[in-house]
Amino acid sequence: MENDFPKSSLNLSTVCKSFEASLPIAVHIRGNNDVMNVGRKVRMALGASLGTVIIMSIAFFFWYRHKKRQYVSFVSRSIESVPSSKANMEKRGSYNGVHLFSYDELEEATNNFDETRELGDGGFGTVYYGKLPDGREVAVKRLYENNYKRLEQFLNEVDILTRLSNKNLVLLYGCTSRHSRELLLVYEYIPNGTLADHLHGQRAKPGALTFPTRMNIAVETASALAYLHASDIVHRDVKTTNILLGNDFRVKVADFGLSRLFPLDVTHVSTAPQGTPGYVDPEYHQCYQLTDKSDVYSFGVVLIELISSMPAVDISRHRHEINLSNMAINKIQSNALNELVDPSLGFESDYAARKMISAVAELAFQCLQSARELRPSMEKVVEILKDIQSRDYTAEKAEETDIPSDDVVLLKSGPMPLDCTLSL
């Protein structure tokens, strides 16, 4: 047994040494396991993320398909809600009395909506020149998006233009049907551009647009708006880019996407302000109350553009004069109308021109009053413009003796508000 003890002790020592020698290997194996665990966790995280993306993509696909079905259903319900059978009307190739064009037909007419055929680009769509197989020249408005808001404007414009018939309103030839992949409106083509083009745009040339021509444009535009108001319609986007001109400078008022049918038994309609900066009625903007006087304010800006040849908004002007309406009011009140008027109109040299321009400025000043009660009706505006246009200024000049050259001094204080405390 004594011989066994050293042997046993030797074996234990050997085992301990072997264990100590194996420690680095164990640690290395454990390190490899940690790396494998990290890799496994990364793969699991990536797998989970990928799974989440796939699930979200599938969910979005079904949501999009559901919304698309809702939109198609909304289009169908909106069109079918108009009186009479729309199914029968579409079979006859018309909608609400207006011809229905196919998308392919209009795509061909505009040469696949060629960019070189663009006539204008507004807030709601692009207008292209086109030519139909029957030879008619047309303007095709292509709405930017097929969403609820665009559909509402599309239906609104079709509905309003089919109710109206006036020589100074643009003629609607037709539109696409509810089955078309895009909402398109087809109008008569007006070849001479917009009033804005001729006043301060690409077609503007000093002296080219004479003051008598500008007066005719003012009278015809005002007459078109008075007709709309008599038909219980507020245009809501009166501006020089929506006043189209024929080759003879005859007016065609366009773009009724924002127009509103006005109930007969109310004084105003509460609605979120829409329109173009520089033309929006400040009272409508502040109080959300739309009336026909909102168009009167916008037309007042158009009158100032006609006598100044300046755009309604110009950020290069002094900050107090960026809006042409503010600039005009300031110039008129400070008796500096000559600083506002286009020099080519003969304000300084021609007596009749000075008298007419001063009278138009006075009318514009009344249209631009902040309180709508102080603005004239469009019917009254037409009456005043026709009176200015028909007056015999030669006879007036002969009768005048020693009259100061300042013809707008009475405008300085502006129209006096009514005193409701007084009684007759």
Structure tokens at 203: 């077609």
Q: Which helix (H) or strand (E) holds 41?
A: helix 4-80
Single-letter code of the amino acid located at 129 = Y
Pairing of strands 94-95, 172-176: unpaired
Residues 221, 296: Cα–Cα separation, whole Å: 11
- 237, 295, 342, 407: which is the annotated catalytic residue? 237
350 is catalytic: no
Burial class (CB in 10 A: 0-12, 13-18, 19+), 169: buried
Beta-bridge mates of residue 342 = none
Using CA atoms, how far residue 278 sits from 30, 266, 321, 367, in Å, is: 76, 27, 11, 14
CB 234 within 8 A of CB 290: yes
- Tell which residue, 113, 101, 104, 108, has the closest CA to residue 187: 101
Q: Under 8 Å CB-to-CB from 323, ≥6 apart: which residues?
A: 278, 312, 313
- Active site positions, annotated: 237
